[in-house]
Structure 1
């Protein structure tokens, strides 16, 4: 090994997953290729891809495979994106139908090059799904639409996705190094405005653990999220995609994740997922059913 090659921390046993080899995995990949769709599962090197694709669950990443930002944690390539694909909304709807999805998660790269940050493409995808796959509930995981007009977010809310997710990713102190193109309070305010505009839409956000955040800082982010009316919190372990990305400062144990989960539930979130392998869209369909049930129980009191 070249002595200049950075050495990544070895994963503990609880983060080891099997390489995907199933027929379902191959079929899901073939479908995505045929429809010319990108997935965050592949682009972000998600450790759960084998499990999810075997069950024919995939998180579609719209607006291309090239991001205009360069976050220190993200494996999606950075550069000048290609023009928006006008056929993409229809292709997403076809994929949802062929996979038989009850719940779909749609995310995207950041598109700071577009006047609306790509908001209209989210709207078109939601409309195509409502028309062609009406049985499928829709969860979106959006960029922050920073420096875009308010109507970018408002247009998406008016299209009425079932879940509006935007990840805060980390604690405010780490934003300059981990998420330099974003602003913590802007992201928090985005989710607050979604809830104010349409309280019936579930709001969701998540954090990566192991980047050097302090326990009290995590508790403060939870409090900020609750003040913004966020319903669903996800906490998962950050994994370094390549030696060029931000290093893992520590591997948070399953016991510590369980403790964070207990604290978050005590703070009033409708639903919490806090495990090392938790990701924004991991088990999203099952979680949506639990989220809806939790709201119904709350309203029945």
Structure 2
């Protein structure tokens, strides 16, 4: 990547691993009152958040702002991506009361923008789409103009069924449908085992043509991709109708995960943001600490950075 700044270090396996973080990578402790309120709401309803499960570096910032992202379908993923800290294994059965508890937490916190994500549930014929749909239905029932955003798996068994179920639940209302391609196709075999780049594009293309739906995606950088490869992915996303994109720095959750190959400088992210906007993306977030739902409420009618929203830097 151009204008990048990194220190090459090698781990015990001989793979490049940038272990010394540059000054622009920072993780803050949560000190505001809203942090405790957010944590309390999650605990009382026995909910999972990707903030905790994925060890997001922005949890303190976002929880201190009264924001978080709910993770549906339990805490165990059927895939084992090399970058992800979420537990992998054979999941339990579906928790059908989960949508109600999420709606109760949202109502109790008085939120006007909600982001929902989930683990992969390849053990289910619908990939868990029914739980997404019921949660969205209850949230819209609680507040008809609530801002809704989902960050879904690729629903590999039946994408059309998932699209139908979820869009029916919002009943023509506005919805941001996110699905992260995560990295460039050349790195999928190592980074996203069990996933396929073309399958991810297929889901985003289906979502992008649904009435009231904005399609969104995200990439992690610093895994060994080239600038040209990143730009090629951005062009692919625009070509299929994706209008929102976020770009952030990959940070290794533990020594058992894929190593960081490069820390991109803030200037590199600014350059990529300019390139993305020039391609026609309407909403772009790019920076070392950006995650896929960072300040997600921006651009939603009736929302602003100063208002409460249920989003998180994921």
TM-score of the superposed pair, with normalisation by structure 1: 0.91
- Whether the 8 Å CA contact 1:57–1:99 is kept in 2: the answer is no
Task: Tell me the distance in 2 between the aligned counterparts of 1:112 and 1:253.
Answer: 37
Per the alignment, residue 169 of structure 1 pairs with: 182
Greater percentage in helix: 1
* 8 A contact 2:29–2:61 mirrored in 1: no
Secondary structure class of the residue paired with 1:95:
helix
Alignment map for 1:129-168 (pairs within 5 Å)? 129-148=139-158, 150-160=160-170, 162-168=175-181
| 1:284 has 2:292 as partner | no
Structure 1's 251 and 89: CA in aligned 2 closer, same or farther, altered over 3 A? Answer: same
Cα distance in 2 for residues equivalent to 1:261 and 1:291: 23
The structure with higher relative contact order (CA 8 Å, sep 6+) is 2
Residue in structure 2 matching 1:181, options 189, 194, 206: 194
Contact 1:93-1:129 at 8 Å conserved across structures: yes
Unpaired stretches in structure 1, ≥5 consecutive residues: 293-301
Is 2:95 the counterpart of 1:82? no
Deviation beyond 4 Å, 4+ runs, structure 1: 3-8, 289-292
Secondary structure in 1 matching 2:297: helix
1:114 aligns with 2:127: no
Cα RMSD, aligned residues only = 2.0
Give the alignment partner of residue 222 of structure 1, picking from 202, 226, 234.
Answer: 234
1:184-241 CA deviation, whole Å, 9 max, x = no partner? 0110111101122x14211100000101111000110011001110010100000000
TM-score (norm 2): 0.88
> For 1:91-139, what per-residue CA distance to the aligned partner results, in whole angstroms no more than 9, with x for missing partners?
1111111222111100000001111100000000000101123342110
The 1:32–1:5 alpha-carbon spacing in structure 2 relative to 1, beyond 3 Å, is farther
Matched ranges for 1:183-202 at <5 A: 183-196=196-209, 198-202=210-214
> Which residues of structure 2 form unaligned runs of 5+?
1-10, 305-314
Is residue 2:81 matched to residue 1:71?
A: yes
Q: 2:24 aligns with which of 3, 14, 19?
A: 14
Q: Report which stretch shifted further, 227-236 or 155-164.
A: 155-164
CA shift, 1:290, in A, is: 10
Report if aligned partners of 1:270, 1:291 keep a CA contact under 8 Å in 2.
Answer: no
Aligned residue in 2 for 1:257: 269
Give the CA deviation at 1:28: 1.1
Q: Does 1:238 align with 2:250?
A: yes
User: How far 1:5 sits from its partner (Å)?
Assistant: 9.9
Q: Residue 149 of structure 1: CA displacement?
A: 5.4
